[in-house]
Amino acid sequence: SNMQKKKDLADKLRSSGLRPTKQRLRLAEHLFNRSKTFHFTVENLDRVINRKGSDEKVALATIYNTVHAFEKAGHLKEILLKEGRSYFDTNITSHHHFYDAANNELIDIEDNNIELKKFPIPPKGKSIKNVNVIINIDNDTQNQ
């Protein structure tokens, strides 16, 4: 039900250490009330949430802080790309991505479609937390 959804979103905010304000609930709704995985940067999200004609503006700082709090609490996964861009992913299970730089797009790779066999030994005193493979893809110029 709608009431239950609102409560779940408020709980996600609370478990991330945030008070469920109207603006944060709107962000949470945009991120989590969807059927498909959502990949985004803070800039993307700012653009979508504050597009022209949207009722109320949400401050960039609020977006940034809310996204980072969700990530710390484990509700979002952060994916760092080489050019220092951070993408966030609403799918927090272990999985990998194609990255299409031409369209700035991350595309999920089904977990069983990639096999990782050999891992390096991490530095002394460290252990591997998780593995995110990013395969960079490009337009296929051969076949055009």
- What does the DSSP 8-state code read for residue 73? T
**Helices 60-72, 22-32: inter-axial angle, 10-degree rounding:** 60
Q: In what order do the strands lie in the sheet with 105-109?
A: 105-109, 96-100, 134-137
Q: Is the pLDDT of residue 144 over 60?
A: no
In this prediction the pTM is 0.81
Report pLDDT digits (tens) over 77-129.
999 887 778 999 999 888 899 999 888 888 998 777 888 889 999 999 999 88
Residue 143 pLDDT level (bands cut at 50, 70, 90): low
* pLDDT for res 21: 94
Q: How many CB atoms lie within 10 A of CB 129?
A: 6
If you compute the radius of gyration of the chain from its CA atoms, what whole number of angstroms results?
18
